[in-house]
Structure 1
Amino acid sequence: MPPDQLDSLVAVLDMVRFGEARTRPELSRRAGLGRTVITQRLGQLIGSGLLEEGQLGRSTGGRAPRELRFRAEAGAVLVAELGATGLSAGLTDLAGNLLVHRDATWDIAAGPEATLSLVEELFDALLADGHPSPVWGIGVGVPGPVEFASGRPVAPPIMPGWDGYPVRDRLAARYDVPVWVDNEVNTMALGEVRAGLARDVADMIYVKIGTGIGAGLVSGGRLHRGAQGCAGDIGHVALVSSVPGAADVVCRCGNVGCLEALAGGAALARDATVAAGEGRSPVLAQRLEQGPLQALDVVTAAEFGDPVAVELLQRAGRLVGETLAALVNFYNPAMVLLGGGVGASGDLLLASIRHAVYRRSLPLATRDLQIARSPLSGRAGLLGAAFMVVDELLSRERLGRWIGHGTPAGRPTLAAG
């Protein structure tokens, strides 16, 4: 397909898909394309099943035009979000609507073979429910750095055995569709900016505080992955020079004094266990008798006023907030969203983070800054994984390679470039 034809085809599709134009006259006016070109491109898109003409729109003096609609039901996307202590799988339409999903408790340290076997089991169960649309692609988020071009994790600190594992290749061979893999925080950020509180926010930072800590960056409305795909890995910012005793805390990445090792969910659980063992917190000591402490136990204890738990959360919030303040000064986002099992729970952590960011950032950078908890809870990553796949499939780089065949299914190499 000639480049100019492909450009106009994608432009027309995107305008209808994102609701920027709903009729032929609107398309012509907004895209700056002639009536003949609009008719030709719509013919291609309607013929491929991506668009359809529906009811009559409002008349502006002549014959009422037919409204155009993106056919989100034309295909489906399998999505998975892998966390340190659990995973989720789902099925969406092409508009990112989550149709069905399943969750499972899981330890990512079990390795890629066992983990992806469970993902495939969940995918198969979702497909067995009989959704009528064919699967067009798969999107996966994992809790570690990913080389986006190859779909392979690279030296992920909390994922032993995953370094260089061909996640994309395995799932593509199993389901015969294109597969994209990204850091789960990136998919969460994309889910929020397209379907959450950050919708229509051009510059945003999404911070996940769970077992570890990571950030997803959105700049100019687009996800910023960086040159290799590891932008936003704030969990391994070194705090050795600013936090007493940080040099004695070894992170899972092998370095010392990382933000994650001092303020992440695993750090909260570790420090709470020490406090309970030393008798400084009867509440946590009582909970410890029932089994190993988790970060959410600290959140719960703090909500009931336990001084040790309150101190631990305030300290974690201060360290996260001071780290974010550097990003806020450097990047000047309009919004910071907190997610993850720890980040999205309780007001104390949120208040501590806000206080540190506002105290350490420039007044202009925080004048209109919003800092809030994610409203999408655990679904942001699944939605973002779906948007990632659909955006790639309908991009200028890929649409022309499959639209003539009617479907990207059966063309797993589309994801390779």
Structure 2
Amino acid sequence: MTIVLGVWPENPHQALVLRLLRNDGPRSRAELGDAVGLSRSKVATELDRLTERGLIETVGPAVSRGGRPSSIVRIAADTRFLSIDIGASTIDVAVTDGELRLLGRVTEHTELRQGPNAVIGQALDLITKLRAESGSTRFTGAGVGIPGPVSFRDGVPVSPPFMPGWHLFPVREMFSTELGCPVLVDNDVNIMALGEKHAGIAKAFDDFLFVKIGAGIGAGIVVGGDVYRGANGCAGDIGHTAVDDSGPVCVCGNVGCLEAYFGGAALTRDAVSAARTGRSDQLAEVLSVAGALTGVDVRDAAAAGDQAAIGMVRDGGRRVGQVLARLVSFFNPGMIVIGGGLAGLGHSLLAEIRSVVYRSSLPLATGHLPIVLSELGDQAGLIGATRMVSDHVLTAATHSGPARHSAHPAGR
């Protein structure tokens, strides 16, 4: 079955039906009529039209509510969305169904410094592998996450600090040409925030912050249920907020950025220093055996009571908390979710962040403010990428945002 991309839903009523089915799963025709606010005859017309076009399907009878029997419908079972999450050291590619449930996933190590052609070529090879494993030959849409500033409108990275050769590279255009479907590209923390909104601990919150602490540090800002990107797409780049004017030089060229104190590279730097100067016997032992240290080593050392490692976690949490306290006073979020690779440092990190935020922000802003660890882990970005592109695709045909693909019919 094929559909013409760019005319998925023909009107806002159809778009709302498709989003309800994506978010909530199968529902009866009667329930959809109530949710959309249409008469029984009108909703029947819209659902019949969606069925004729292969976008939804009937899966059985509904429980009778009196009168004519109703039936259960869902998004067509062969709907497929693709997510491509390019991280600092890995590429994750996954496929979901129309309800954004993960059906298959492949992961490989990558090196961003090889440049965009090599990394995107690697991603396309993984997509080929995923197609073979999952049986998904065509995609309704694809979402891409990149660990750096992105012009969402243009689908290109903009001066990403540790990604030489990526500046203004046509990432969206390259993927859409190869895949033949709509493609959207965004900063990785924004898609992680969308993943938390769709299926994570923040599902019930329309205004929250998702804070990624990993190789870089950033915040996804969700307002009214949607990601706020700012005028040029760089809202939430808190990793390059100055926390000490006399601090170390950051990869962005400025001095004393948060990321220069507690990003992945900074934590590794401090761990190696502690090992080599005799401040941490445990880290010194790991370094002598493995030849390198990671955030996982710091986590394990802290859990074992190593005072130098505990100090690194507390210091990093304190600095993150200082930045978040300012954001809480300014934005007044309903929740803060902590994720990313260094979130694995766990509750000792979380406790320090909470302590600083609760102590430094106004009681009105923090009285009912949960600060929690992500429950989705490394699936947040994969789910969020497909949420992003499905939001775009499942919009009435009058939509004129980025990457509305007008190429030929493509299946799912």
Give the TM-score taking structure 2 as reference length.
Answer: 0.91
Name the residue aligned to 1:34: 39
User: Deviation at 1:40?
Assistant: 2.1
Cα deviation, 1:396-417, whole Å, max 9, x if unaligned, reads 256799xxxxxx9984599xxx
Does residue 170 of structure 2 align to residue 171 of structure 1?
no
User: Deviation at 1:287?
Assistant: 1.8
Match of 1:39, as an amino acid?
Answer: A
More deviation, 38-47/384-393 = 38-47
Name the residue aligned to 1:405: none
1:145-224 matches, within 5 Å, as: 145-224=149-228
- The one of 70, 79, 97 equivalent to 2:75 is 70
Cα deviation, 1:75-111, whole Å, max 9, x if unaligned, reads 2122111111222111111211111111112222221
| Pair 399,39 (structure 1): closer, same or farther in 2 beyond 3 Å | farther
Cα pair 1:272 1:309 within 8 Å, conserved: yes
More deviation, 134-143/24-33 = 24-33
- The one of 74, 85, 95 equivalent to 1:81 is 85
Does residue 235 of structure 2 align to residue 236 of structure 1?
no
Rounded Cα–Cα distance in structure 1 between residues aligned with 2:304 and 2:298: 10
Rounded Cα–Cα distance in structure 2 between residues aligned with 1:61 and 1:104: 54
Name the residue aligned to 1:300: 300
| Pair 295,18 (structure 1): closer, same or farther in 2 beyond 3 Å | closer
Cα deviation, 1:179-202, whole Å, max 9, x if unaligned, reads 111101011110111011111211
Cα pair 1:21 1:27 within 8 Å, conserved: no
Secondary structure of the structure 1 residue equivalent to 2:91: strand
Rounded Cα–Cα distance in structure 2 between residues aligned with 1:227 and 1:191: 23
Cα deviation, 1:93-136, whole Å, max 9, x if unaligned, reads 12111111111122222211111111111011111225156312
| Pair 365,413 (structure 1): closer, same or farther in 2 beyond 3 Å | farther
More deviation, 50-59/191-200 = 50-59
Name the residue aligned to 1:7: 12
Match of 1:247, as an amino acid?
Answer: S
Name the residue aligned to 1:404: none
User: Deviation at 1:353?
Assistant: 0.8
| Pair 130,104 (structure 1): closer, same or farther in 2 beyond 3 Å | closer
The sequence identity of aligned pairs, in percent, is 43
Rounded Cα–Cα distance in structure 2 between residues aligned with 1:215 and 1:226: 12
More deviation, 286-295/201-210 = 286-295
User: Deviation at 1:156?
Assistant: 0.7
Higher RCO, 1 or 2 (CA under 8 Å, sep at least 6)? 2
Name the residue aligned to 1:269: 268
Does residue 372 of structure 2 align to residue 372 of structure 1?
yes
Secondary structure of the structure 2 residue equivalent to 1:11: helix
In structure 1, the gaps of 5 or more residues are 241-245, 402-407
Rounded Cα–Cα distance in structure 1 between residues aligned with 2:21 and 2:287: 55
User: Deviation at 1:210?
Assistant: 0.6
Name the residue aligned to 2:127: 123
More deviation, 331-340/146-155 = 331-340
Cα deviation, 1:229-254, whole Å, max 9, x if unaligned, reads 221111011112xxxxx524111111
| Pair 12,280 (structure 1): closer, same or farther in 2 beyond 3 Å | closer
Cα pair 2:211 2:220 within 8 Å, conserved: yes
| Pair 221,411 (structure 1): closer, same or farther in 2 beyond 3 Å | same
Secondary structure of the structure 2 residue equivalent to 1:232: coil
Name the residue aligned to 1:353: 353
1:308-347 matches, within 5 Å, as: 308-347=308-347
